[in-house]
Amino acid sequence: MTESSSHGDSSRTNFLQLDNDKSLHKKLCNMLDRVPLLQAFGHDEIEHLARYCSAYKVATGVKIFAEDTRSTFMCLLIEGYVVLMKGGKQLGTVREGRTMGEMSMLDGLPYSATAISAVDAKFILISREQFDLLEQEYPRIAIKLLHAIGKLMSIRLRETTNLLVDRL
């Protein structure tokens, strides 16, 4: 394991990047294959997508991203769980196999909540830069990923709308 360089992104200074070797690529493929967001992806698509991802681990209590800060990455949580906070209140948790940060990866706007690791956690990170490369080199896979993210955000919006209606 090596400590991640932040590449101008101070939120990543407490991330430890998992060593990038051939065995990691296979592990990345296995991890990606378990993510519900990617259930419609075939083996070859997962193989290609894994080349555009990075794997990290964080200790308990690490802020993965902060509400109202700008960054351009999304995370696919592989191990552990993360607490989401907004305005000092807990919104919920992100469990293994789930994603967070998709909106900011796509639109570049600040994160709408803070994500803090509740236990030691491992995740796959996809930055906007990595996504842009994927889009140039494998546009069909990028479009498929966009469709999956769009569907996920639609489901979350419907759930939020239902919660809101219940409170009115």
22: which DSSP letter?
A: H
- Sketch out the chain's domains with CATH numbers: 2-167 (2.60.120.10)
* DSSP 3-state of 52: coil
* DSSP 3-state of 134: helix
Instruction: Give the separation between CA 15 and CA 73, rounded to whole angstroms.
Output: 13
Q: Which of these, 163, 129, 154, 161, lies nearest to 37 by C-alpha position?
A: 154
This prediction has a pTM of 0.81
C-beta atoms surrounding 115 within 10 Å: 27
Q: Tell me the HSE value of 71 on the side-chain side, using a 13 A CA sphere.
A: 27
Encode pLDDT of 33-82 as tens digits.
Answer: 888 889 999 999 999 999 999 899 999 999 999 999 988 899 999 999 99
